[in-house]
Structure 1
């Protein structure tokens, strides 16, 4: 139980391991996850350490596994995850793993290269097939004359002054007087394939470079083709270009090369084209067969690798983590023993000894490891043992600052106070039910959801805090029940305790729209509602006035209680660290100041609730609401030492002797300020003078060696205080007074500002209730007001809109706002009373943490 309320006790140990047993022992410690190693080679470059070659080998194996994983994901093959956690392999097994990964990578790369070459050949043959098919259409046109309405797209790169084409006559190319001659034109042509999006620019370039003396025909390939390099589907077009002369031929080919168009041979004779087409079809069929066999072989290799790749990743990362850790160790002079220093929890020393013994037995070493405790002036790391329930609350605390060593841990108290203060601001039974159901779903589906290991950061935050969200939802349902607020409406469970108001199904619609509730009249039965608020307040015109007063006073009472609890926790820190001076000069005046002023204000609230009541009886006038004093005015007058003004016939005191007691409390609280400001520095100065006087008396009687011995023995206690004000004796007189003045001003002013800060509980609660009511009145009530089938359709649409706004604004945005305000109340108003948060977290060498984060880097101090 001690580690629950404060961090576990830690000790620094020195570990001696035989070289042959070091790997196995570190592996066992990694499975245990209770040892934080220190780097004994901080000045040695990472590339000059002993096991750097092994780390590089692990990096290479990890690279190969990532390549295999990428290929497996590319084919959509599921990777088997059995949930097993294999042990770290022995060093001799690294060779077998390296050989296996090397073989798989080489085989897969060879298969991929062959498949890419086959796909490239298949692409070329497919393009050639399309060229032969499309160009055959062109030549068939010219055998029977040009038909401009053919499906084959035709383009003549010319303008009106250089090239003209008649729909009935022959093609004119170059000069108008020179007519088109098929026998002269057809032999000079090139055919190829180009990306479809490059066609317009390709045409313009041909026109400008060849001055219109070319004839271009192009047709789109309907089906997309696969790019063998990237695997993407691309759309291409077939083109054929006619020209005259070798000069134009060279120019056209350069343009095709610049636009990355692929040129293919196209025979001039029809018989040759048909023979080539038949050969191409035969080769395509053969290639399809070979491609299918290649893909089947690749699939079999990847399926076999997918069965073991998860376990391979775990093994490689464990090996790498072990060698990273071994690089933190030192070698002794004999080069046969490794020396390490580590922080370990005192209560787990026996488990660590057993793990070291198991590692020694696994390695076959005959020399047992040695684990010795060390004395050190350093502050140990802070280790708070958590589970899946308490982890979210501990993360909230550590986000503000890791607790100092053995300092009181606020996390156990936050388990209750955090969701409760959140619920005070988020009090709605309906909205709390939505939050509860969402969190309950995450808790019930915990294992399958955790196995997915999503990369979505927002989802991981929600899932990690599922138990926190569950408690927030349950507490919100409780406070919503107390407020009797469900989506801005109320439950009529016990009936109303107002006589003139009868809440029944028959007459609830006949009630006036504005009801003014006055407890002083005979309408009130005189007995309170059994639990929570009377549902009639939901229809009252003075509902806001009533809830304002109620929620504001409740916020102040909760805030003062919360802060007093924080000051009380500081007493446990002071007693644990034997800080008697801090108890006398810090804790006692702080409690008196906070209690005699602000706690007394809360007591006056209860006195007012018990002493005064609503009545119109003249005999009880002095106990009526008109004589009830304002707590705020009374508190201000108490500080100003003034009497509160009252009406004629009313008593000036709430209880006998009020003014005398208030003066006494205020004077005592006022005296606490110089008590906190001066007592501690003056006490420390007197202690210093006594030590100096004692030193002057004893120095002449001792020789130099005795004096040195005395200094050495007296110095550790002065150096040991690092918690909550220790070490102040090393400061100068001016620094002492300045530091104490800062603490005093911060506490006195903080008591006022922090008390006002808790009014956010009242403000956000009212804002949430009003937003919920506005959403109901302005959105959902519009759908409920319609009748017949039109009303059903309208209500269906309006309810969807209302539900979206409810979840998006009132649950998510308002919930996030209440969460952040609750976080501030804990970090500032509560923890500032006792929490120093100047420590550093315990980061043990643990395989579980390394595998969860995917990190295999060195574990640093």
Structure 2
């Protein structure tokens, strides 16, 4: 956790690597993932860099791998996962890989082309077979029709029989089924009704050799007379992409041709099976190494792409690169450089040099799988400035706690915690799965957050004594009902009574508590009390105010860590002190009054000390409003004290005046300090210049004249230029006054608005409890009212409905609502007190990160 308190200390390093060792050194650094390289060739076109040809070779290899993978997946060949990621290949090995991939691609293309050609021939033979089989009834001789086949005679009209005796031509073929209606209309129009079309549908779909899609087709025969109609019909067939096939005139020729077609189909089917078997063997052997090849090519491409960020020195014998890295990982980079030199066999070692710079380094927060989810919540709002306090460390506790205040229900908390625990236990299995939805990935990334939210919600559920809108009586209720306040028809100890239901109002006046309060949380008697909502409303609202003040004061206190680290000691006195005093003088005092009220005005004082009884309990909100308006308060009832203790008005006036003093300190303190500092620095600069001129005059009187080309003059000119540069970069005082005024007004107003914003803890907690109670009473309880075996069926049905609504509404939707409100309380109300979030993330050169990004894009 110590690494999360503040981002890692970064250093800007300059690398001097021999060209032959550069590839191996970056390969080692990519495996470690500890350096973010800077582009030293921003002015050079991407196509003019040194290693652009190697990058293009890698692109070509990736294209071949994508083609091979598409063919493998097209044939549903399983691609085994990689157990251990291979390292980046040696540049010499890539030649063999390139040749192997080129040969594999050529073989697959050749097999694919052969398969397509064979399937095209097979499809043509299948269609020809269907043409010969389906048109048997269309080409019966007149003798067969008259003497032997009355069915076919009835099918063929007399007009056609007469035409067959003459010179009647025909065209046979196959067309897609959905094009048949348009095809018939077009034939009718071009022939003016002089074409007789017969068709028969093919029952089984036929596969397209190119795309693999299946189509339903229809066999047709068009009878006509005259060569002119024949030409028109063929043009229509070409327009509708119909396939025409030769069909003999006599039945004997058709039978002989059909037998030949069937024989050729059997031979072609055998060849197709052998081709598919050979293709399957090739793809299975390739699939075993496909993932390894893809990872190796991806790593090699990343290395050459990073090498393009390097600059070649003047002698062209050394590559120079710059990178950001954590100071603690400098030895790791040095070891990677040494391993790269030894792997390449270079005799000249590569080395690293640390550069001093004023440029703001990237922010690197070291995380693990537990803290990564909380860090992501902060980074979505804004990356922390360099070495700024990291709010994620405190968010690990405060985020699930504030969520639990709004989601306090033991039953719902168990469901949420169980879901988070399942994600954690099965994280290896889930992480290995591919094609997960984006929503599920979000849940999986926040699995530890979900688990903690469930655990914390279980605790607050115990405090609220709320389990699916019901309470449990474990330690025994401390409330006793005063029998004299009940109606006369109410009976005790098993005596007979009416079916009337009575609601008891728990008040110290009419009831009393016996012994100590309930051991943990709320007394279960409040569940059946008529004034439960009034009590919980007051309790949870005060609880929200207490949490708000503590959380905001803690946020202001965290700013001291930034002031001390960045040595802004003046900000401690001029910003932190007035800010925290303003919160304490106003809102911490309101919290103190809440605790005073809870302590002094107890229900046990009723009848003993009437001035400190529950009836005389004052309103803390009225006290606070009167204090802000300098208005006198009034006693709640006759005989009660106006104030909770003597001297309260004096204390409140002191606090108000103290808060008013804090505002001008925040507004004027820092600008006045900057003005004084600038005046002093200018005086010192003027004195230094005057002393320099006097020294030059004395030197000129005693020795030679000082020319404008000497080293002394150049130093004076350099100092003067530096001073003018500083003056130019200084922020004008007008902008400082405006910014400080905006910051002061924003902070003063935010103390009120942010405190009120925490009341969402109270509102969502009450809404969640009431919605749970309504769902129980209006859904599940309907099944409990029916007796007998029918009641069992009703309980089963209504329990299922209640369970679905509980998961969908109370756990999922209410949980998401509470999560978003908790996120807002951290981003705005808490982090605005100390967090700037103006940095940029550290993005190291890491093979693991590159492979994960490629997998997400592919998924």
* Distance in 2 (alpha carbons) for counterparts of 1:371 and 1:555: 55
- Please name the residue that 2:697 is paired with: none
Cα deviation digits, residues 428-467 of structure 1 (max 9, x gap): 1111111111111111111111011335211111111111
Cα deviation digits, residues 112-137 of structure 1 (max 9, x gap): 11111111111111111111111113
Shift of 1:210: 0.9
| Equivalent position SS for 2:827 | helix
- Please name the residue that 2:279 is paired with: 298
| Equivalent position SS for 1:12 | strand
| Equivalent position SS for 1:50 | coil
* Distance in 2 (alpha carbons) for counterparts of 1:705 and 1:526: 90
Aligned with 1:540 (options 511, 525, 529): 529
Shift of 1:784: 2.2
**5+ long unaligned stretches in structure 1:** 153-165, 174-178, 720-726
- Please name the residue that 2:702 is paired with: none
Shift of 1:411: 0.6
Structure 1 residues 38, 209: CA separation in 2 closer, same or farther (over 3 Å shift)? same
* Distance in 1 (alpha carbons) for counterparts of 2:447 and 2:504: 43
The answer (yes or no) to whether the contact 2:384–2:836 under 8 Å persists in 1 is yes
Aligned with 1:240 (options 190, 209, 221): 221
The answer (yes or no) to whether the contact 2:606–2:614 under 8 Å persists in 1 is no
- Please name the residue that 1:184 is paired with: 166
| Equivalent position SS for 2:183 | helix
- Please name the residue that 1:722 is paired with: none
| Equivalent position SS for 1:377 | coil
Shift of 1:336: 1.4
Shift of 1:3: 3.0
Aligned with 2:427 (options 431, 438, 446): 446
- Please name the residue that 2:157 is paired with: 170
Shift of 1:699: 1.7
Aligned with 1:194 (options 175, 192, 201): 175
- Please name the residue that 1:249 is paired with: 230
Shift of 1:499: 2.7
* Distance in 1 (alpha carbons) for counterparts of 2:162 and 2:626: 113
- Please name the residue that 1:697 is paired with: 687
Aligned with 2:442 (options 461, 471, 491): 461
What is the 5 A alignment of 1:128-143? Answer: 128-140=128-140
Which stretch has the larger CA shift, 800-809 or 398-407?
800-809
The answer (yes or no) to whether the contact 2:480–2:512 under 8 Å persists in 1 is yes
Cα deviation digits, residues 265-284 of structure 1 (max 9, x gap): 11111111111111111111
- Please name the residue that 2:610 is paired with: 621
* Distance in 1 (alpha carbons) for counterparts of 2:494 and 2:731: 79
* Distance in 2 (alpha carbons) for counterparts of 1:654 and 1:290: 102
Aligned with 2:571 (options 582, 591, 600): 582
Structure 1 residues 8, 501: CA separation in 2 closer, same or farther (over 3 Å shift)? farther
* Distance in 1 (alpha carbons) for counterparts of 2:499 and 2:466: 22
Shift of 1:6: 0.4
* Distance in 1 (alpha carbons) for counterparts of 2:34 and 2:493: 65
- Please name the residue that 2:316 is paired with: 335
Which stretch has the larger CA shift, 519-528 or 217-226?
519-528
The answer (yes or no) to whether the contact 2:25–2:341 under 8 Å persists in 1 is yes
Shift of 1:392: 0.8
The answer (yes or no) to whether the contact 1:131–1:192 under 8 Å persists in 2 is yes
The answer (yes or no) to whether the contact 1:428–1:476 under 8 Å persists in 2 is yes
Cα deviation digits, residues 307-339 of structure 1 (max 9, x gap): 111111110000000000000000011211100
The answer (yes or no) to whether the contact 2:508–2:606 under 8 Å persists in 1 is no
* Distance in 2 (alpha carbons) for counterparts of 1:481 and 1:229: 67
* Distance in 2 (alpha carbons) for counterparts of 1:509 and 1:430: 34
What is the 5 A alignment of 1:260-279? Answer: 260-279=241-260
Shift of 1:798: 2.6
Shift of 1:208: 1.4
Which stretch has the larger CA shift, 488-497 or 285-294?
488-497
Cα deviation digits, residues 496-550 of structure 1 (max 9, x gap): 2223499x99999989352222233344325211111222222222111111011
Shift of 1:651: 1.4
How many residues were matched structurally? Answer: 827
Structure 1 residues 336, 695: CA separation in 2 closer, same or farther (over 3 Å shift)? closer
- Please name the residue that 1:790 is paired with: 790
* Distance in 2 (alpha carbons) for counterparts of 1:762 and 1:209: 82
Cα deviation digits, residues 598-632 of structure 1 (max 9, x gap): 01111111111011012574441111122111010
| Equivalent position SS for 1:515 | coil
Shift of 1:489: 1.6
Structure 1 residues 282, 102: CA separation in 2 closer, same or farther (over 3 Å shift)? same
Shift of 1:181: 3.2
* Distance in 2 (alpha carbons) for counterparts of 1:791 and 1:364: 84
* Distance in 2 (alpha carbons) for counterparts of 1:797 and 1:378: 67
- Please name the residue that 1:162 is paired with: none
What is the 5 A alignment of 1:754-833? Answer: 754-833=754-833
* Distance in 2 (alpha carbons) for counterparts of 1:150 and 1:601: 108
Shift of 1:142: 6.1
Structure 1 residues 493, 659: CA separation in 2 closer, same or farther (over 3 Å shift)? same
- Please name the residue that 1:668 is paired with: 658
- Please name the residue that 2:43 is paired with: 43
- Please name the residue that 1:847 is paired with: 847
The answer (yes or no) to whether the contact 2:555–2:830 under 8 Å persists in 1 is yes
* Distance in 2 (alpha carbons) for counterparts of 1:279 and 1:841: 73
* Distance in 2 (alpha carbons) for counterparts of 1:46 and 1:90: 24
- Please name the residue that 2:263 is paired with: 282
Which stretch has the larger CA shift, 652-661 or 671-680?
652-661
Shift of 1:170: 3.4
* Distance in 2 (alpha carbons) for counterparts of 1:534 and 1:143: 106
| Equivalent position SS for 1:180 | helix
* Distance in 1 (alpha carbons) for counterparts of 2:142 and 2:802: 70
| Equivalent position SS for 1:682 | helix
* Distance in 1 (alpha carbons) for counterparts of 2:444 and 2:724: 50
Shift of 1:796: 2.9
Shift of 1:169: 8.9
* Distance in 2 (alpha carbons) for counterparts of 1:610 and 1:380: 53
Shift of 1:735: 1.5
Matched, 1:651 2:641: yes
* Distance in 1 (alpha carbons) for counterparts of 2:95 and 2:76: 30
Structure 1 residues 674, 369: CA separation in 2 closer, same or farther (over 3 Å shift)? same
Structure 1 residues 404, 755: CA separation in 2 closer, same or farther (over 3 Å shift)? same
* Distance in 2 (alpha carbons) for counterparts of 1:17 and 1:506: 94
TM-score (norm 2): 0.92
Shift of 1:706: 5.6
Aligned with 1:560 (options 549, 552, 570): 549
Which stretch has the larger CA shift, 480-489 or 111-120?
480-489
* Distance in 2 (alpha carbons) for counterparts of 1:143 and 1:357: 98
Shift of 1:143: 5.3
- Please name the residue that 2:401 is paired with: 420
Structure 1 residues 643, 856: CA separation in 2 closer, same or farther (over 3 Å shift)? closer
- Please name the residue that 1:228 is paired with: 209
| Equivalent position SS for 2:615 | coil
